[in-house]
Chains A and B, each alone.
Chain A
Amino acid sequence: MGSRYEIRLSGEGGQGLILAGIILAEAAAIYDEKNAIQTQSYGPEARGGACKSEVIISEDEIDYPKATCIDLLLSLTQEACDKYAGELKKGGVLIVDALSVERVPEDDFRIFRLPILETARDKMGKLIVANIVALGVIVGLSKIVSREAIEKALLARVPKGTEQLNSRALAAGFELAAAAMESQGS
């Protein structure tokens, strides 16, 4: 990767994407000893249901804390994809939920349509862990932090006794990423 890597997680309120961004930034800053900043921003463009969380991760200093050239965009809703895909850089990674996002922009992106919400709901039995499945997908595809770091950052936030469900959700995300990379021959 280039030193600075910008990730935007987008969807709707209640999907836990802000927390997912925080966990990703903690994996980078606390466990992989990189520089990281996580921000949630609201503005006129963010109203109307769509929400976004951004994480910038860099081995070098971060000279500006706002995302300006998105390397990886996750969209869990059509509205979020429509709103934010235009800011993804050419050659960037676009990850969309296979069920809730039907239309993706035709551009020079690496597009991954993955059953993130379905995996959380049907395989994990809890839709609320879709954000954790998504984290597994993001890290699996981008390798932006180590698997060990994201596991530690996640487990540092879960209450005693619920580690298993969250670990399984993360692992399911990694499996989706591995299968997607294999099918794309990367």
Chain B
Amino acid sequence: MLMPISANTPWYCYIQARYRLPMLLILEELSRLRELQDNFVLVGGLSLLMWGRLKHQVLWDVDLLFRDKFSIFKFLALAKDPKFDVVSMDEDFSDSETIVSFHTSWGFQARWVNVDYLTRSKWYYFHKDTIDQRGDFEEEVELEGRKIHIKLPVAYPWDLFIEKSLSPRLEQDLSTSNDLSYDLRHVFILFEQERENPEFWSYIRKKTERFDRLSELKERLLSIFQQRERIGYGHVEIEDSIARLISDWEE
């Protein structure tokens, strides 16, 4: 059932009711595991939800970005709280040029949430850099008579804007005019939230420059904006000043 929405609706209320408690307990368990093994960050749509940037209900999953493949091996070997049933969905790691992934599903009282383990070249360090400066996501949630404490390294929205804009998946979505692309959706949601914020643009520029991807980001953003009609975002207005600001980026 869809929940009534108000401006003050807490982020976890956008998790469908029957999966809300399992998801929060998984985040609490990940907080505990992080104390034992601090080499992953939470990324993806859920991180945007937790930071209050997304306000819609979907079936959320947990994406954990690890430092490297070895870190995933170590994490797989860590004992998880026995209240969860953890099932490996893959027979082996899936290796491609751009990403290594391993999919699992965590069950709590027969309610299953996908928890995916990923590693993507330098992106772990990209996110960790900001988290180290700004701190973890921390919150105590009371739900169904339980106090659930979450303290996790959760990727920051501005970093996700960069990561998603540059992702190979988004490139493919652009080339096929996939208007159902969730990366494009997240990029446009963040863009509309931040478009008039000079600090946002300054941060995007500096951070991307530091990771030697500024020319690529410039090209990609201009391409996204240029093709917005074709990919379902023709209603988003791009002021000349924003297009100029991005065009002026130089490494």
Contacts and interface: CB of A to CB of B under 8 A. Distances in A.
Contacts of A127: 176
A159 B233 contact: yes
Contact of A62 (B57, B103, B112, B231): B112
Contacts of A22: 58-59
Contact of A30 (B2, B176, B182): B2
Interface residues of B, number: 38
B90 A160 contact: no
B230 to A, nearest CB: 10
A47 B101 CA distance: 13
Interface string A40-60: 111111110000000000000
A97 interface: no
Contacts of B232: 158-162
A37 B112 contact: yes
B16 A30 contact: yes
A35 B18 contact: yes
A29 B18 contact: yes
Contacts of A33: 1
A65 B87 contact: yes
Given A37-B112, A66-B89, A161-B235, A46 B180 contact: no
Nearest to B231: A159
B114 A39 contact: yes
Give the interface residue-count category, chain A.
Answer: 35 or more
A124 to B, nearest CB: 12
Contact of B110 (A14, A63, A160): A63
Contacts of A40: 89, 103
A16 interface: yes
Nearest to A38: B59
A66 B87 contact: yes
A25 B90 CA distance: 19
Interface string A11-24: 00010100100100
Contacts of A16: 178, 180
Contacts of A36: 59
A41 B179 contact: no
B58 A156 contact: yes
A166 interface: yes
B111 interface: yes
A30 B59 contact: yes
Contacts of B89: 39-41, 65-66
A156 B56 contact: yes
A108 interface: no
Contact of B111 (A31, A35, A39, A42): A35
Contacts of A162: 179, 232
Nearest to B113: A37
Interface in A154-172: 156-162, 165-166
Given A22-B58, A157-B182, 19 more contacts: A14-B172, A14-B176, A16-B180, A29-B19, A38-B59, A41-B89, A43-B92, A43-B94, A61-B110, A64-B87, A66-B87, A128-B176, A156-B56, A156-B58, A158-B180, A159-B179, A159-B232, A161-B235, A165-B179
Interface of B: 1-2, 16, 18-19, 56-59, 87, 89-92, 94, 101, 103, 105, 107, 109-112, 114, 172, 176-180, 182, 185, 188, 231-235
Interface of A: 14, 16, 19, 22, 25-26, 29-31, 33, 35-47, 61-66, 126-128, 132, 156-162, 165-166
5 contacts: A26-B59, A38-B59, A47-B94, A63-B110, A65-B89
**Which are the 6 A-B pairs with shortest beta-carbon distances?**
A43-B91, A42-B94, A61-B110, A159-B232, A162-B232, A65-B105
